[in-house]
Chains A and B, each alone.
Chain A
Amino acid sequence: MINAITYDVDKNAEGKDRLKAYAEELSKKYSVKAKDNGEGGKDK
């Protein structure tokens, strides 16, 4: 028998910071790989 049920209210608290960090890291990685392969080179 269940007498009471509690529920949690969750938020996606830090989504912006996470995605920004991944966007920065991945852009760097793709840029380095392109340089290694002799492509691109427009990045500073």
Chain B
Amino acid sequence: MMTYEEFKDTVLNEIKGFLPPEFKDCDVRIERVTKNNGVTYDGLMIDTYQMGGQGNKMVPNIYLNKFYEDYSKGLQTLDHCLKDIAATRVKFEVPLNQRLDISDIQDFHKISGQIKVKLVNYEKNVEFLKDKPHKKYLDMAEVYYLEVGTFGEGMGSVTVKNTMVDAWMADGVTMVNSDILHKIAMDNIANNQYYKVESMQEVLRKMMGDAFPSDLEMGFAMPQTPNMYVISNENMLFGASAMLDENLLEQLSEKCQGDYFIIPSSVHEILAVPQMGQTYEEMEDMISSVNREVVSSEEYLSDRCYKFDAELSRVVFADEGIEKERTNDKVAEFPLSEELPFDIDQSQNFRQHHGGR
């Protein structure tokens, strides 16, 4: 059994022998790639640009870690891994007629219609965000990307970096910043009916088919179970940014009869569920538990619960307002701070002792 380092060296040295003839003069290298939430992979880059200028400067990252995992568990032989990696590289090549090249990407007017937005956790991506234009949103950040093609269930995308923005501005575009990118991305979404709202039951049925479990069926059928909605885009990739589409969320508030909870299920989708007496603490306990047990590090979005406030017509943290109410209670119940007969900690003990909140 090879170590991971030996595996990487072998791939680097032998992969050309598994690629079709048109790749014979390609350049092969491995670079460390930081993905969402600080997750890092070793990306194999098989670059056809070196081939007499005929190739493409756009190169897909193929992550070797996942192939090694299969190899080290004995699920795949080394030969199978090399064949799979080569097949993946061929599959991930953007067809010539759909291909963006560097000159397209440097032309802001040409590609601005393809700018889209995704949401990531802010705290976990401080490093990742350093070289990218971004905009803080609640405990998350908006990041912008260009879609370069779809490959089966996968989507190829290039994240917008500061170097791209610099190139756009050097090319004569007066100003590009995160506010402008936000506006363009939201316009692109509005023009394309980008997001969709589906019932949880419908989505799970599509995903699970005949494997849809009977206990889940019973859960949905119970009269006390309200409609729960999954909001994402057609590909269900980076669709959590639907949280930025206030028109869509406003329409949903009619279905949910007012305010509703928004669960950050992952970077790919959010869930909307009616408020039926659950506290935000209960909801956040559930969210962090599902995140811990089921959500991959790379797809994690947040442990917070949000609320669509129908009156304000915007998304807020689910505890917003509650904390204010609690503070107001204290003010109403006690004299001004300098006149308090005891400090706040003692007052909380006092309330607990006397049955207060």
**A-to-B contact residues, CB < 8 Å:** 1-31, 33-34, 36-37, 39-40, 42-44
Contact = CB atoms under 8 A, between A and B. Distances in A.
Contact of B268 (A12, A20, A26): A12
Given A21-B294, A29-B282, A3 B268 contact: no
Given A11-B237, A22-B265, 12 more contacts: A5-B57, A6-B33, A6-B61, A8-B33, A11-B153, A13-B296, A14-B294, A14-B295, A15-B236, A18-B266, A27-B219, A31-B225
Contact of B58 (A5, A10, A17): A5
Given A4-B47, A11-B153, A21-B294, A36 B204 contact: no
A40 B215 CA distance: 17
30 contacts: A4-B102, A5-B102, A7-B59, A7-B148, A7-B157, A8-B61, A8-B156, A8-B158, A8-B159, A9-B154, A10-B157, A12-B235, A12-B268, A12-B269, A14-B294, A14-B295, A15-B268, A16-B207, A18-B299, A19-B203, A20-B208, A20-B216, A22-B228, A22-B286, A27-B220, A30-B224, A31-B219, A39-B224, A40-B222, A40-B224
Contacts of A37: 277
A33 B276 contact: yes
Prevailing SS type, chain B contact patch: mixed
Given A1-B167, A19-B230, A39-B224, A9 B216 contact: no
Interface string B271-309: 101001110001000100110011110010000000000
B271 A27 contact: no
A7 B102 CA distance: 12
Most buried by B among A10, A20, A30: A10
B64 interface: no
Interface of B: 31, 33, 35, 43, 45, 47, 49, 57-61, 92, 102, 105-106, 148, 151, 153-159, 163-164, 167, 200-201, 203-204, 207-208, 213, 215-216, 218-220, 222-226, 228, 230, 235-238, 263, 265-266, 268-269, 271, 273, 276-278, 282, 286, 289-290, 293-296, 299
Nearest to A17: B294
B223 A42 contact: yes
A13 B236 CA distance: 10
Contacts of A27: 216, 219-220, 222, 225
